[in-house]
Amino acid sequence: MTGFAPALVLTAHGSADPRSAAVTHAVAGRIRRLRPWLDVRAAFLEQTSPSLAEVLTATEDAVVTPFLLASAYHARVDIPAVIAESGRCARRADALGEDPALLAVLRHRLAEAGVSADETGLGVVVVAVGSSNSEANARTASVATTLATGTRWAATQTAFATGPYANLAESLDAVRAAGARRVVIAPWFLAPGRITDRVAAFAAQHNVAMSEPLGSHNLVAATALDRYDVVSSARVAA
């Protein structure tokens, strides 16, 4: 760590699927390349090592930057609880959210899957993890609306793959009812894992194409850095 810059602790939920941790570490590596003088560490809330508690124990000053899309339970409750229990000098940044840079990555993943903004008769179903927090779900739902801006697609829908509002099948029916002759599923996920595998199996069963999750991308890394900078800059200004 150089100067007075706190460490950036990129904190993911954690998963039994090793592909998830691989993306977290890859994005942490991209952040290091974007800002070589910054101390960047990956951490996880559960199932994967090192845990956030372990990383904070070994870090004198940190900004815990959630590697999470939604500002739901893990970002609002779990991470602050671990920080409080650690007794370390650490602050929490905001979740990544519906950042325009991430929307650009989502469009890029769709383009890789053969989707054009000029395609007519297309339905795009943005699939995300569902939350019990209705506000978090509402913000996630804005992704599909924003994604469709400037396109000639027939319809877009937001679907939740898990949680009390799970509605993937209904969303597929909705875009078809709205005139979509071809449907593509766009996962609003940072990394592949068991949930995206279940969505892929659903897509294959219903003869629907599916793009890749956001994954490791410089715009994902830059968004995490933006969240970190808001907190670290506020400390300097104070």
Count CA within 13 A, CB hemisphere, residue 180.
Answer: 22
Does 100-210 match 7-97+216-237 at the fold level? yes
Q: What residue segments make up the domains of the chain, in order of their start? A: 7-97+216-237, 100-210
Options 3.30.1330.20, 2.60.120.10, 3.40.50.1400, 3.90.1150.10; which CATH number does 7-97+216-237 get? 3.40.50.1400
Q: Residue 75: what pLDDT?
A: 86
| Architecture of the domain defined by 100-210 | 3-Layer(aba) Sandwich (3.40)
Residue 1: pLDDT band (50, 70, 90) is very low
Residues 6+ apart with CB under 8 A from 138: none
Angle, helices 100-112 vs 218-237, to 10°: value is 170
Predicted confidence (pLDDT) per residue in 72-118, tens digit: 788 889 999 999 999 998 999 999 999 999 999 999 999 999 999 99
Predicted confidence (pLDDT) per residue in 127-173, tens digit: 998 877 778 888 888 999 999 999 999 999 999 998 777 899 999 99
Q: Residue 72: what pLDDT?
A: 77
